[in-house]
Structure 1
């Protein structure tokens, strides 16, 4: 509902301005429909990443796992995602953006089924790896695809729809997890409940797999492959005849002289800087500590003394906050710009993490402390979604030339999941080794570094077409 309200508001403004300027308005409703279908891939990313937070405490007991095995099963998703990123980058530049999304939908379905019927830890790990492959492919291609079909003035908002879908997917699975956990006994949840948690992911996965073939291929990809007539028709339907003609000319000019799909294009002057910006944005997004909070929120809450099921219910609060603040981010990303939101968000996250460090250093948990910890976790989540949560994906999807964008995006996603893997692997060991206080302090330091990066290094890309951004970097 939040997404539809935002899109309807922008649709009125865009259709009005397009109609006035050209006399032949495009179909913004069509753009919204295309974006919403593509963004289901983001919801599956959130669903598959969030499901483990509820299932973890049950399947770890079912299989009598050690702490190291628990960390590996949680973190192996990122390893699969890294491979998925590479596959998506190569495949999207060779066969197009759509086939990657269709393949991801099939893999999401297979992984959910495999996890639900796992009889050994080995099968569970294989299911998590396949889930990671799907996540790597979807997280690489969905923001890239949306950025290529979105009008320049709304690109930040529309690319952020992927992050909103991620938050909705994660919140939905938190609710599913809590419902299953609270309606059944601990013994049943340990034996069967976690299977239903994993299996529920088949529903959105099948929907994504069925709907994705309906949407068009990226017009920028089609221009790059010499399919000008087909690309022109798609642009015309989206933006109107006059605007489509101007945009197609700009895209064709930007493609002249580019070597199709060659990675060495990334190391040309100007593009090297874009690569550095995008890779740092990818790594920084995970060094905020958000993946640690998302995976291990129930464990954090259990440290305060509340029960497992209660901690799952509190975790739903994180998902609700994500949805609300991603929606706010979508409103302001194209109004305030990238630099301001990322700078302010990093500073606010640092404050929230330092507050959590202080609370845990006291070491006395009661109702008041539980509330303060909950507020700290939710504040960190809110500021993350207002800034780096969607902002990093927006930056990564904007800065590369069309001919290399798929593989370049895959490098950024690969970097992000590599950072995610180390954070998810290291967080439980950090909690038990140096304690919660110093763990949060370390993440706070990273947030302060990110604040400096956004304020002093990151260029503003707001309101520019992808081709204008590309030309700016080349200068």
Structure 2
């Protein structure tokens, strides 16, 4: 029966997907740790609004370097060595941040942490997409987003309990990042290399061994044939291949979605929750409790997205997210401007988080991992994720400056407009990808 029908080793597939997705936990850790640490860092380093924005965004600058480094490592040496390097860099930088003795040293270490996070943010979804059968690829790539939100929630909880340690609480907050990075490092050692990279590197026999662990003989034969066909002429490709006419539409869509995921403004709620709720009159204790609520809602709706991404599809979720956020941010801006009760502000912050977690947060990563052709996937993914981190830096750098100049509510009117423009882009430019093999998506791209 296995010779005529594709069957899969789901336990193995989910296992390697979760191990790879531990890199997402590091991503979530760094998103959350800065929100809990900022109230202490403002005092420790006497931060101005400009320096607060730069300190928060310094992670993103490191992420850009990490993505560029990951692209080269992933193409030349494989996905697995890139993941190992990312985990090692993050472990070392976590200790470095905790021991910082001045703002400049802190920024250097935070930048280094960004290199590790940037590498993981690009390689984890790519790796999971390349080892997952088409029918469950969306769910498996969304596992990476699940570990991101678990990182956010657990870190928010830990930050809340560490806050009572006094002025140096932030050192413990950052230093504990060593634990998940070491767990990730140990786990990655067990992972197989991506079969698609192995075929591209001329190691077909090794690729077949990996694919045999994933699925039935028919799945192995069909996948090898499809990969080899899609890689025809791949050795002739240069980094400029991403601008070729045949792949340019996919690259433009991927980059635009990556930038939109950040410029939509939702990550301001994660990074500056304390600032937003402080402006609404909350105490430090209440601010940290709000971050825990954000993490909990984030987790619930990410799980809902994982359940629906391969059922409803990518495009409907993106449309729901873009329009829902636009409406939510308009109401949130009005409430902040009117100095409404904290409970109302909290309700719409959590509503915006739920919409984002159900849509743009996980689905953007799914699309980036699957819409690029095999022979330019590494380079194209690098370009998209570098663009994402560049947009993230602009977002978090500008928020405290805008909030100081025009009020905490002002930026949310801007984000609402961007979200509506994003809705129009998805409606007219993004095609559905659910249920199609990576090679099938490539064939459709070339035909159209």
**What pairs up with 1:223-238 in 2 under 5 angstroms?**
223-238=199-214
Give the whole-Å Cα distance in 2 for the aligned partners of 1:160 and 1:402. Answer: 20
Give the whole-Å Cα distance in 2 for the aligned partners of 1:25 and 1:468. Answer: 19
Deviation at 1:73, TM superposition (A): 1.0
2:318 to 342, 353, 360: 342
CA RMSD of aligned residues (A): 1.4
**What pairs up with 1:398-417 in 2 under 5 angstroms?**
398-417=370-389
- 2:19 paired with 1:33: no
Q: Report if aligned partners of 1:54, 1:174 keep a CA contact under 8 Å in 2.
A: yes
The equivalent of 2:141 in structure 1 is: 159
With normalisation by structure 1, the TM-score equals: 0.92
Deviation at 1:404, TM superposition (A): 2.0
Q: Any idea what the Cα deviations from partners look like across 1:5-47, whole Å, max 9, x if unmatched?
A: xxxxxxxxxxxxxx77757844211111100000000011110
Give the whole-Å Cα distance in 2 for the aligned partners of 1:267 and 1:72. Answer: 32
Q: Any idea what the Cα deviations from partners look like across 1:177-219, whole Å, max 9, x if unmatched?
A: 11111x43xxx2x1x2110000111100000011101010000
**What pairs up with 1:197-212 in 2 under 5 angstroms?**
197-212=173-188
Give the whole-Å Cα distance in 1 for the aligned partners of 2:142 and 2:354. Answer: 15
Equivalent residue of 2:372, what SS? coil
Number of residue equivalences: 447
Q: Any idea what the Cα deviations from partners look like across 1:226-279, whole Å, max 9, x if unmatched?
A: 100110111111011121111111111111122355222212223000000000
**What pairs up with 1:67-146 in 2 under 5 angstroms?**
67-146=49-128
Q: Report if aligned partners of 2:230, 2:375 keep a CA contact under 8 Å in 1.
A: no
Equivalent residue of 2:409, what SS? helix
Gaps of 5+ in 2: none
Q: Report if aligned partners of 2:2, 2:216 keep a CA contact under 8 Å in 1.
A: no
Give the whole-Å Cα distance in 1 for the aligned partners of 2:99 and 2:46. Answer: 17
Equivalent residue of 1:335, what SS? coil
With normalisation by structure 2, the TM-score equals: 0.97
The equivalent of 2:222 in structure 1 is: 246
Give the whole-Å Cα distance in 2 for the aligned partners of 1:24 and 1:315. Answer: 44
Give the whole-Å Cα distance in 2 for the aligned partners of 1:134 and 1:261. Answer: 27
Q: Report if aligned partners of 2:29, 2:155 keep a CA contact under 8 Å in 1.
A: yes
Give the whole-Å Cα distance in 2 for the aligned partners of 1:125 and 1:436. Answer: 25
Deviation at 1:70, TM superposition (A): 1.8
The equivalent of 1:423 in structure 2 is: 395
Give the whole-Å Cα distance in 2 for the aligned partners of 1:408 and 1:20. Answer: 35
**What pairs up with 1:373-412 in 2 under 5 angstroms?**
373-412=345-384
Q: Any idea what the Cα deviations from partners look like across 1:451-473, whole Å, max 9, x if unmatched?
A: 11111110111110000111111
Q: Report if aligned partners of 1:159, 1:394 keep a CA contact under 8 Å in 2.
A: yes
Deviation at 1:437, TM superposition (A): 2.9
Gaps of 5+ in 1: 1-18
Equivalent residue of 1:214, what SS? coil
**What pairs up with 1:307-322 in 2 under 5 angstroms?**
307-322=283-298
* Range with bigger deviation, 157-166 or 53-62: 53-62
Give the whole-Å Cα distance in 2 for the aligned partners of 1:143 and 1:408. Answer: 13
Equivalent residue of 2:310, what SS? helix
Deviation at 1:361, TM superposition (A): 2.1
Give the whole-Å Cα distance in 2 for the aligned partners of 1:49 and 1:201. Answer: 12
The equivalent of 1:361 in structure 2 is: 337
Q: Report if aligned partners of 1:26, 1:241 keep a CA contact under 8 Å in 2.
A: no
Deviation at 1:379, TM superposition (A): 0.6
* Range with bigger deviation, 253-262 or 280-289: 253-262
The equivalent of 1:65 in structure 2 is: 47
CA pair 164-24 structure 1, distance change in 2 beyond 3 A: closer
